[in-house]
Chain A
Amino acid sequence: EIVLTQSPGTLSLSPGERATLSCRASQSVSNSFLAWYQQKPGQAPRLLIYSASSRATGIPDRFSGSGSGTDFTLTISRLEPEDFAVYYCHQYGDSPPYTFGQGTKLEIK
């Protein structure tokens, strides 16, 4: 099973700043089947990025993903008030078991 480790656990930033979230896998993620999700309190997760770097439908271009192999990054170029939430990385390569990172909480400084 691939273990995903996200860092930092909590990130405190102000609107307008740039956010960089990291996800490290215990082994290579095949075909870069790595996704990022945003979750707000009381809501289901929302797909932001798939295949490590492709934005999902309707996702603003301030969200970008990068990386391959075992190291992946989600960048939010300029934080908007609605971006403060919990972010999860997720590997869905080849076949299950699929795994999620433990999450990064992005909070307002």
Chain B
Amino acid sequence: NAGVTQTPKFQVLKTGQSMTLQCAQDMNHNSMYWYRQDPGMGLRLIYYSASEGTTDKGEVPNGYNVSRLNKREFSLRLESAAPSQTSVYFCASDRRRSDQPQHFGDGTRLSIL
């Protein structure tokens, strides 16, 4: 069981470039999430998708867009990357039940020069 798979693992961009971070889960989970983790701060929610076909903003959505492609896949797009978006990005998923925890991928480490 792969769980939550994120690609790429590392990426370096120049300011103004665009890219899409990919996330796929094989646990038949309904809900999927994108977080960013910065030094000295907790993981912060960027966007989430409670179920296939729906997306909602989290705490820090500015500069990002998301697509819930199907039940398995949830992508995060940076249209015009800025140095402030240098971070580690984590995708997570869960069954959307109170007794089920979120499962995380191993992250994408993104540097924007």
* Chains A and B form a bound pair: no
